[in-house]
Amino acid sequence: MGNTPPNKPDSEVYSFADPSIESKPMDIEAIPEETKAGSEAGSEAGSESDIGVTHFPVEPFIAKGGGTPGRFLGLLIGALIIGAVLDYVFSLVSGFSMRFFLLFPIVFGSLYGWFVGKLGHAIRARSGAGSTAVVAIVFMCGMLTYSGFQFGYYLIGTDPDLKPGESFFESLDRRATKGYIIHGKRGSKTNLGYTGTWIYWMIEMMITAGFATYVARSKTSGPYCEVCDRWNRKRYFGPFRFDAVVGHKAFVAGEPTAMFVPGASDHKVKITVYDCPTCPEDPLAIQYTGTIGSGKTMITHAAFMVYPHEALPAFEAIEMIAGQVKG
């Protein structure tokens, strides 16, 4: 590397700077180049890297979804029980939690979806493109659970204005007549009025069900082996420190050997490989997550692709090479 003739230092710099933007082969060539003494590196590098970058046919991962009627029934019953428990717990603190405009349904719905998603995962009721059963169950039960929360507010008696003998619907009517009050930043108060309060409750119900569905869906749509009827095994590679953008492009293109670019980077890349331990010939579902920066300015480059199983050694090689710069 250091033995380059002193008359062409600029062309050396360019040959490294340009390819890192548009083509990856030159970057890979940087690894074997160190072992080969530099004389014919210029002409041989091109052909060498053509062989070095292996291309695999890839496609985006899409969960199929599925399950037996028994599993979906189990999920439905479980979702109702989880909802009842959560309603009870939250109705005890409802006077407090309802004060925060739109925050309550997001927290409540996500928490509900987390529990139901855990259950769905455990009993192997899957959501995906081919089955809407999980989504339908969680969305319906999410709406019901929100209603149950309002009922718990009435029943358990945290409603301070509750009148003796008042029915649930009478209590809702009274509360809507009084109107939901939004507390502004500078102590200002806005009363939504009768209709506005009902609309607000409907929106809260939809947000609760929406967040519940979103979270539960993410927990039940991972790679799955239909033959063995089990979730795929998960293996984590990384986090690595290499260029997250170059890595992302190569990953999506099906070129894992071009993903890792030597050199320090503050980017963080994680790779998760899913496969079935008893079906080693099956395709691999591989998730790529590269992050640049942190906090509010963080940019994420993510992709979820299906690779042929022959690609596994290429990913294990990244673990071996880039593993040295873990962090």
Query: Which parts of this chain interact with Zn ion (CB under 5 A)?
Result: 225, 227-228, 276, 278-279
Sign, CA torsion 63/69/73/78:
negative
> Which residues are bridge partners to 269 per DSSP?
240, 290
Cβ proximity to Zn ion, 114 vs 231, nearer residue: 231
Cβ proximity to Zn ion, 143 vs 273, nearer residue: 273
**Minimum CB–partner distance for residue 297 and Zn ion (Å):** 41
**Minimum CB–partner distance for residue 217 and Zn ion (Å):** 23
Cβ proximity to Zn ion, 37 vs 228, nearer residue: 228
The CA distance from 50 to 309, in Å, is 21
**Minimum CB–partner distance for residue 225 and Zn ion (Å):** 3
Cβ proximity to Zn ion, 158 vs 232, nearer residue: 232
The CA distance from 235 to 171, in Å, is 53
**Minimum CB–partner distance for residue 309 and Zn ion (Å):** 12
CB 145 within 8 A of CB 88: no
**Minimum CB–partner distance for residue 226 and Zn ion (Å):** 8
Q: Where are the alpha helices (DSSP H) in 124-132?
A: none
Cβ proximity to Zn ion, 159 vs 282, nearer residue: 282
Q: How many H-runs (helices) and E-runs (strands) does the chain carry?
A: 12, 9
The CA distance from 151 to 143, in Å, is 12
Residue type, 150: Q
> Which residues are bridge partners to 224 per DSSP?
231
